[in-house]
Amino acid sequence: MKQSLLDNLLAFYQEEPTDPFNIYALALEYSKTDAVNAARFFDILLAEHPAYLPTYYHAAAFFAMQENIEKAEKLYNDGIALALKQNNLKTHQELVRAYRGFLDEIED
């Protein structure tokens, strides 16, 4: 029987639960179908690996879609600050653009 992507990601997570990529991949996969588990894995990632920069773009967008506006705004701002701290200009620009789009959406 063919294993699903989710099954494979869960197996990777069980093998290495402290690897931020495994948590990140699960959060992204769950965000497609299971908001409760997606939020849980984004929260784990943010709590245990706050310097894992890829989290912020997707977590902020996810929480914005869940209408958790305050959390989304905080994540965009935290991600923007972290990208500057890590001197990651490409990610900084992506987060700034996404944050501006987010602000435009909540103003409408």
Residue range(s) defining the domain that contains residue 68: 56-108
- Which of 52, 67, 85 corresponds to the end of one domain? 52
| 79-89 residue pLDDT tens | 999 999 999 99
Task: Examine the domain organization and report whether 15 and 31 are in the same domain.
Answer: yes
Tally of domains within the chain: 2
Q: What does 43-75 look like in DSSP terms, one character per residue?
A: HHHHHH-TT-THHHHHHHHHHHHTT-HHHHHHH
Task: Examine the domain organization and report whether 94 and 72 are in the same domain.
Answer: yes
Whether residue 108 has pLDDT greater than 80: no
Task: Examine the domain organization and report whether 41 and 75 are in the same domain.
Answer: no
Q: Are 56 and 90 in contact (CB under 8 A)?
A: no
Task: Examine the domain organization and report whether 106 and 68 are in the same domain.
Answer: yes
Task: Examine the domain organization and report whether 6 and 44 are in the same domain.
Answer: yes
What is the predicted pLDDT for the residue at 30? 96
Whether residue 77 has pLDDT greater than 50: yes
Task: Examine the domain organization and report whether 73 and 38 are in the same domain.
Answer: no
Whether residue 94 has pLDDT greater than 90: yes
Task: Examine the domain organization and report whether 1 and 47 are in the same domain.
Answer: yes
Q: For residue 1, what pLDDT band results from cuts at 50, 70 and 90?
A: very low
| 8-46 residue pLDDT tens | 999 999 999 999 999 999 999 999 999 999 999 999 999
Task: Examine the domain organization and report whether 65 and 79 are in the same domain.
Answer: yes
Task: Examine the domain organization and report whether 46 and 7 are in the same domain.
Answer: yes
Q: What is the pTM of this model?
A: 0.92
Task: Examine the domain organization and report whether 21 and 42 are in the same domain.
Answer: yes
